[in-house]
Chain A
């Protein structure tokens, strides 16, 4: 169903994204050049000094990528505007990730400052894996976390130093051929995190990673694998912001999570891509018996985002959750949702999605919930709410819920609303500007979800929404 509102406020919102955009000059020691071929793969594997099995894995993945059609039979035709031969697939500042904050180049520090990561926050980070271009520039684990046996490294270091752990799960949650973009990532991935939490270890501080693109025509293909062993707990947070460019930029990540028996993983993302970025991400988790996986996801910006975090509920009493907020500004399309594959008895899943469309922005919810006949005691709850700001704003909802068998249940609620002219007048009559009024109501709409984000992110999120609304009315 597609809904376009006729009765929304007539004022046009024009988003001035330039205020969040900036570029620092950069030079790259390693550059695979533009275009994608088996030579590109060899360049990446050689530069990264990777073992032979990864080189083979990449070459096979490239074949899969080339063979697979674009998913445009169901998705946006805008995907066809990606010119794969115009994209740079590998850039790196330095050969190795630096280890301490002192080693981080000044211009990179400057960028972090500009990104607004507070000084004291950096200190409190349990470990930071900040991805600057393709390679981890700065990676640091607090001694306490390392003492507990926690591994927190970049993906390359992970596969070289911890091959048994890495090989066991890499590409198992999301196989290369899952979709065209997971195949692309498998061919050219670099950066991203590898995390292993030993049995019973509960990581107190969230593990954080800041991602950032800072080069034109350059695709970022990070690959993250998190394994939480039996009874362990971890929260991982990533936030992204990118400068504005003339030509399209491609971001295509793959994130795999494995929660062993009784483990808990929370994966928090706040993304704010510039509006020329194609953000095509595959995120999936496997939850074993009594494990819990929660994806908390916020998408702001980008030209087109396609992202449907999923949980395969493989063990009895496993629990999966997706909490997501999407904000589609003028000319943007947020195509997001969730997948819950119930594969064991008494598994439960919860999906809460809220989207905001402004200007000619479009938000799409796609949900897949699957509970097969032979299972018992499975439950799903799906809620998706859309807020439309302008008459030209658009939202679509495609919930695919299959519940079979007698002892299983699902409930689904969806709503589309708007901020009325009367509400805006009411708030303005109290002294708030139109933009403040808009901002306050939009924040109000997502408030219950924002509260589920870690404190610093909820503040950041509010700021991002304010920024989107600021100067955007009139």
Chain B
């Protein structure tokens, strides 16, 4: 891919989230959604996946996360060289994968602070306790960065949150859990321009040579704020085109149809 030598590819394997010839279907009815998808998200890079509705964008994020609704029939998902296929979603998460969801779930009665704390606690070795003062100091500073009111610590996870608040809360969790690979699924949906700026600011603050990101979006707008290194176009369960950030602009201008036509041709 991109003319890398075999040696470079070997090294990359241990510093990347690699998806190889991935085929996945809906478990309940056998409908195939991903049809041989290839993608390498290296540490330090931000990849964007764009695609029309129904192309398989959200399915891709769920399959990487280990959602039980989908079955992998062929291919590999390698996290720093280790296959995650067959791993439970929580094992993948603790291994350094994070999924910012398009529709974050509400968990009544469980406070945001306790939830994030439990998630962090789950990463500690048996018998080790999370230091409460450090935890809250860290939580508050991350919340300040996302311009989240302190009252969100005591509120039940996502319950009664506006669309924008939910997305901010996803990014808060990402920053707190400090994953190696982040998959942001339609993080821009439901955001007004101010919220988009804040959320993108949070994501950008986390960009580093140690983190790989995969930004899934339908619209180019998000990519004005989170500028990707590489843009992929997903159509009908396959990556059909790669390019720089200008590809996103082209898509915005011409729509997805020209790619569909090209692919069909």
A-B pairs, top 3 by smallest CB distance, nearest first, are A444-B109, A444-B110, A426-B105
Asked whether B99 is an interface residue with its Cβ less than 8 Å from the other chain, the reply is: yes
Measured between beta carbons, the chain A residues less than 8 angstroms from B69 are 421
* Contact A433:B90 (CB < 8 A) given known A425-B68, A440-B115: yes
* Contact A441:B110 (CB < 8 A) given known A430-B115, A432-B122: yes
- Residues B93 and A440 in contact, CB atoms below 8 Å apart: no
Within 8 A of A (CB), among B52-100: 65-69, 88-90, 92-94, 98-99
Question: Of B109, B122, B177, which contacts A447 at CB under 8 A?
Answer: B109
Shortest beta-carbon distance from A9 to chain B in Å:
9
- Residues B177 and A431 in contact, CB atoms below 8 Å apart: yes
- Residues A427 and B107 in contact, CB atoms below 8 Å apart: yes
- Residues B99 and A429 in contact, CB atoms below 8 Å apart: yes
| Cα–Cα, bound, A448→B114 (Å) | 15
Measured between beta carbons, the chain B residues less than 8 angstroms from A422 are 105
- Residues A431 and B104 in contact, CB atoms below 8 Å apart: no
Q: In this complex, which of B65, B66, B114, B118 has the most chain A Cβ atoms within 10 angstroms of its Cβ?
A: B118
- Residues A431 and B93 in contact, CB atoms below 8 Å apart: yes
Measured between beta carbons, the chain A residues less than 8 angstroms from B98 are 429
* Contact A440:B118 (CB < 8 A) given known A431-B90, A431-B94: yes
Report the nearest B residue to A442, measured CB to CB: B109
| Cα–Cα, bound, A14→B21 (Å) | 38
How many residues belonging to B are interface residues under a CB distance threshold of 8 Å? 31
Interface size class on chain A is 20 to 34
- Residues A431 and B119 in contact, CB atoms below 8 Å apart: yes
Measured between beta carbons, the chain B residues less than 8 angstroms from A445 are 108-109
- Partner-A contacts on B (CB < 8 A): 65-69, 88-90, 92-94, 98-99, 101, 104-110, 114-116, 118-119, 122-123, 156, 173, 177
Measured between beta carbons, the chain A residues less than 8 angstroms from B156 are 444
| Cα–Cα, bound, A434→B87 (Å) | 13
Asked whether A423 is an interface residue with its Cβ less than 8 Å from the other chain, the reply is: yes
- Residues A444 and B107 in contact, CB atoms below 8 Å apart: yes
Q: In this complex, which of A428, A429, A433 has the most chain B Cβ atoms within 10 angstroms of its Cβ?
A: A429
Shortest beta-carbon distance from B64 to chain A in Å:
10
28 A/B residue pairs, CB under 8 Å, sorted by A: A423-B106, A425-B89, A425-B105, A426-B101, A426-B104, A427-B105, A427-B115, A428-B93, A429-B65, A429-B93, A429-B101, A430-B115, A431-B94, A431-B119, A431-B123, A432-B90, A432-B118, A432-B119, A433-B90, A434-B88, A436-B122, A441-B107, A443-B109, A444-B107, A444-B109, A444-B110, A445-B108, A445-B109
Measured between beta carbons, the chain B residues less than 8 angstroms from A130 are none
- Residues A428 and B88 in contact, CB atoms below 8 Å apart: yes
Measured between beta carbons, the chain B residues less than 8 angstroms from A298 are none
Shortest beta-carbon distance from A391 to chain B in Å:
15
A-B contacts at CB below 8 angstroms, number? 81
- Residues B88 and A440 in contact, CB atoms below 8 Å apart: no
* Contact A423:B107 (CB < 8 A) given known A428-B88, A430-B173: yes
Q: In this complex, which of B99, B109, B119, B173 has the most chain A Cβ atoms within 10 angstroms of its Cβ?
A: B109
Measured between beta carbons, the chain A residues less than 8 angstroms from B108 are 444-445
Measured between beta carbons, the chain B residues less than 8 angstroms from A436 are 90, 118, 122
| Cα–Cα, bound, A210→B104 (Å) | 43
Asked whether A386 is an interface residue with its Cβ less than 8 Å from the other chain, the reply is: no
Q: In this complex, which of B68, B110, B116 has the most chain A Cβ atoms within 10 angstroms of its Cβ?
A: B110
Asked whether A44 is an interface residue with its Cβ less than 8 Å from the other chain, the reply is: no
- Residues A429 and B90 in contact, CB atoms below 8 Å apart: yes
| Cα–Cα, bound, A196→B114 (Å) | 42
Report the nearest A residue to B61, measured CB to CB: A429
| Cα–Cα, bound, A437→B89 (Å) | 12
- What sequence of 0s and 1s flags, for each residue 401-443 of chain A, a beta carbon within 8 Å of any chain B beta carbon? 0000000000000000000111101111111111011001101
Report the nearest A residue to B94, measured CB to CB: A431
| Cα–Cα, bound, A429→B122 (Å) | 12
Measured between beta carbons, the chain B residues less than 8 angstroms from A430 are 90, 93, 115-116, 119, 173, 177
- Residues A447 and B110 in contact, CB atoms below 8 Å apart: yes
Measured between beta carbons, the chain B residues less than 8 angstroms from A428 are 66, 88-90, 93
Within 8 A of B (CB), among A219-266: none
| Cα–Cα, bound, A433→B92 (Å) | 11
| Cα–Cα, bound, A423→B123 (Å) | 20
Measured between beta carbons, the chain B residues less than 8 angstroms from A421 are 68-69
- Residues B67 and A425 in contact, CB atoms below 8 Å apart: yes
Asked whether A446 is an interface residue with its Cβ less than 8 Å from the other chain, the reply is: yes
| Cα–Cα, bound, A426→B107 (Å) | 9
| Cα–Cα, bound, A433→B89 (Å) | 8
Measured between beta carbons, the chain A residues less than 8 angstroms from B66 are 428-429
